[in-house]
Amino acid sequence: MDLAREQKLVEQAKESLKAFDQLYEYYLPRIFAYVLNRTANKQISEDVTSQTFIKAMTKIKTFRYKGFSFGAWLYRIAHNNLMDYYRKNPSLNIIDLSEVESKDRTDKEAEKSERQAIILEALKKLPKQYQEILSLKFFEELSNEEMAEVLGCKKETLAVKLHRSLKAFKKILEKENLLEVLNVEI
């Protein structure tokens, strides 16, 4: 969705649920995928995604464009809801690969899935903050500015955190001899 259309819908959504529905339809799969990527649990993801959109709907009148998109605001709400969930349930892992499976895959999809599983397994070994940063950057494909907004930090601070996250991730891949398997350079 282009920014001009999004801005128009946001302004309309402040007065009309019909306009909010359009934003919801556009962002629902993205926010759900982000949360599912962080939890690997469909039920938790559905709950957190629901909470995100309920909060967004009730607070949309307070939303103001300050250099960040409505989508970044939604990711911020989802991030905060996830952090609240894990604070209340500290025994749960953010990523549990045992629940992530796909059926009826083609060879290409199976290879991609295998690569993702290796990446997720390596990510699981990182501190939660690094997992979050790399997930936002590479799975959700947010810009650094949007990531800084979601994480509530300055862009410069994010750059340092992103560098440290990538360095730690590379170290894990090297330690596990997975760089060659993935055929990537970090």
pTM of the full structure = 0.61
Every domain of the chain and the residues it spans: 1-94, 104-186
Q: What is the pLDDT of residues 40-90, one digit of tens each?
A: 788 999 999 999 999 999 999 998 887 778 988 999 899 999 888 888 887
Whether 98 has a pLDDT exceeding 70, the answer reads: no
Q: What is the pLDDT of residues 103-128, one digit of tens each?
A: 334 555 556 666 667 777 788 888 98
Any long-range contacts for 144-148 (C-beta under 8 Å, 24+ apart)? Answer: 145/67, 145/68, 145/72, 146/68, 146/69, 146/71, 146/72, 146/75
**From CA 26, how far away is CA 30, in angstroms rounded?**
8
Q: For residue 43, how many other CB atoms are within 10 A of its CB?
A: 9
Q: What is the pLDDT of residues 170-185, one digit of tens each?
A: 898 888 777 666 666 6
CATH code: domain 1-94 is 1.10.1740.10
CATH code: domain 104-186 is 1.10.10.10
